[in-house]
Structure formats: C-alpha cells, structure tokens
C-alpha cells in the first residue's frame, strides 16, 4: 500500500510515518517543507529513526508549489497532517501563514485528490474547532472556534466535506485533543515545562492553572490514526481522538514535580486568549469505528516525555 503523509517531519507526522513503516509493509511518502520556525532549526531530527528506511521516500517541498499528480500516482491513502499549529501565534499578520498552509494548501491537495484513485483522505483536525464547551464533547457538538487557528482548521474540515460531496474525495476527519509525548512541539506546555525544570528555571504558566485538557499520549493517537487505513465504512466520518484521562494544568505541574524530584517555581505570564478553559472528548465513536481504547495514563506519558527530553537537553 502506498501512503502519502504530509507534515512528515512534525510531531504527529513523524510518529505516524515510523509506525506505518514498522507495523506494515507500506511504501510511505513523507512531505514536509520545514515551514515552521522550529522545524527549520531541528530539520529532520524527528525522522532520524526512519529517514533511511528503504520503504520511505522524503520530499522537502512547499505544498503550495508541489505537482501532485506524480506523488499521488498509485497512492492508496493520504494523511494530511501538514499545517501551522498553535492558538497564540495565529493572531495579527501571522494569520497569513495559517491561511496559506491550513486552508489554501489543503484546498489544492483536495483538488489534486479529486483526480486520483485514493481510497481515503484523512484530515488531521483539532479540538480547537469546538471552542468553549462543558462536559464530554461529541462530534455533533456545535463548532465555535475561539481563535484564528481554530477557524483555519474548521475551514479545512469544510473544504474536505465540500470535496467529498461534490468530487467524491473519500475523506475522514480526525479531531485530536492535546497530543503530547516525545518530539512534542516546543511551544506546547508540557515540553516547555519539562525544558524549564531540567534547566532549573521558573515554569512559565499561561492562565491560572485551573484550565483542564483531555491529554492524548502520542502512541494512543497514532494507533487510532493508523487504524483508519484498514477500517471500512469510515468515509465522511468525523471522529474525536482523545486520551485516557484529563487533568488541570496545575496538577500536571505537580506530577512533573514528583517525577523530577524538584519543586517548580511558577511564573504566571498572562491570561489565556483564544483557548477554552476545558476540553473533554467523547471517544465512544472512535471506540466503535476504530476499536480505539487509549492505554497510556497521564503519569506514564509524562514520564516518557520527560525521559526523552532529558536526553535531548542534556
């Protein structure tokens, strides 16, 4: 099976490529232009474990300037994970990057897939499309993003549905809830907290710490994402991918104190903007359609991420 993965050098994309290569006999084509500042710095580090794999082919090119016909030739599956992430940096003039990458590039890829024989187009979306909610959130909950980033991802979802209904592109939408673990982006809270604690620096906390998230460990996220390949009757579905447990940010800091044996010095640096106070995924649909059952507890996942970044930063 030939599988195309956009955003292959990123956090989730690199883990997905590695999983597909290790667990199957797939040919994987990874695409990434390192358009994010962080990826420009770390380059192909996230792909070190599989970059030389004989069934992996890497293309470093901006999606806006790709000739898709050759790449999609004989492709069975497209995972569209590429995009500019992050709520806080999506305001002001920076939104142009989000519009180009999350909206325009998505439309161009969907257009190209209209003329291909792919069996599934899997679009990586986000819990940010829901906005402020209470209780467990199911996929039919009204969407009301609080940030330009959320708007850009919801627009990507709408484009997927338009191309499914009108052009027959076989889309599946996955909404990820706060994925964490090794290779996590440096702007995300866990990575930042761990880096600061390793360096014996104050933890920079946005908000008061009472905000809670449904945290999804990377291996659970990848198992659910990879399961889409072989599951029938998914075309047109939107599916939440959440974690084993949720927690407040302040409790995460307490867990890191226990894991590191250090007392965190917390520096509150401002209020949240464009982010909900709480997220909580109803994953019953994922359980039914993907046989998804997250396995990794928050403490276990934090310990794995801590061990990874200890090697990374020391």
**Quick one: residue 200, left, alpha or beta (phi over 0 = left, psi -120 to 50 = alpha)?**
left
Q: H helices of 228-265, where?
A: 249-260
How far is CA 304 from each of CA 183, 194, 234, 308, rounded to the nearest angstrom? 11, 11, 32, 6
Distances from the Cα of 196 to the Cαs of 49, 65, 102, 201, 265, in angstroms? 26, 38, 30, 5, 10
Please, what is the Cα angle at 40 between 39 and 43, to 5 degrees?
65
Beta-bridged to residue 212, according to DSSP, are 248, 278
Phi then psi for 308, rounded to 5 degrees? -65, -50
Catalytic residue flag (residue 308): no
**H/E element, 182:** none
Selecting among 149, 180, 217, 292, the annotated active-site residue is 149
- Tokens 């866990």 correspond to 190
Which residues are catalytic, by number? 149
């Amino acid at each position: 099976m030939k599988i195309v993965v956009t955003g292959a050098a990123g956090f989730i994309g690199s883990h997905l490529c590695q999983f597909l290569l290790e667990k199957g006999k797939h040919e994987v084509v990874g695409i990434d232009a390192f358009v994010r500042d962080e990826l420009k710095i770390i380059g192909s580090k996230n792909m070190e474990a599989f970059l030389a794999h004989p069934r992996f082919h890497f293309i470093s090119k901006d999606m806006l300037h790709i000739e898709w016909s050759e790449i999609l030739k004989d492709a069975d599956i497209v995972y569209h994970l590429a995009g500019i992430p992050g709520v806080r940096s999506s305001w002001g003039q920076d939104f142009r990057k989000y519009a180009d990458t999350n909206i325009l590039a998505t439309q161009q890829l969907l257009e190209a897939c209209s003329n291909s024989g792919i069996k599934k187009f899997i679009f990586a979306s986000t819990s940010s499309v829901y906005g402020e909610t209470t209780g467990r959130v199911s996929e039919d909950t009204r969407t009301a993003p609080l940030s330009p980033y959320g708007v850009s991802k919801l627009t990507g979802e709408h484009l997927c549905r338009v191309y499914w209904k009108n052009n027959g592109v076989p889309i599946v939408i996955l909404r990820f809830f706060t994925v964490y673990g090794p290779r996590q982006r440096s702007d995300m809270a866990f990575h930042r907290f761990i880096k600061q604690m390793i360096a014996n620096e104050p933890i920079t906390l946005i908000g008061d710490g009472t905000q809670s998230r449904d945290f999804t460990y990377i291996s659970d996220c990848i198992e659910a994402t990879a399961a889409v390949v072989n599951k029938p009757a998914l075309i047109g579905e939107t599916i939440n991918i959440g974690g084993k447990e949720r927690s407040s940010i302040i409790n995460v800091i307490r867990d890191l104190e226990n894991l590191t044996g250090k007392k965190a010095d917390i520096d509150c640096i401002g209020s949240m903007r464009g982010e909900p106070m709480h997220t909580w995924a109803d994953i019953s649909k994922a359980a039914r359609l993907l046989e998804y059952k997250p396995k990794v507890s928050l403490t276990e996942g934090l310990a794995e991420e801590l061990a990874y970044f200890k090697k990374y930063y020391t």
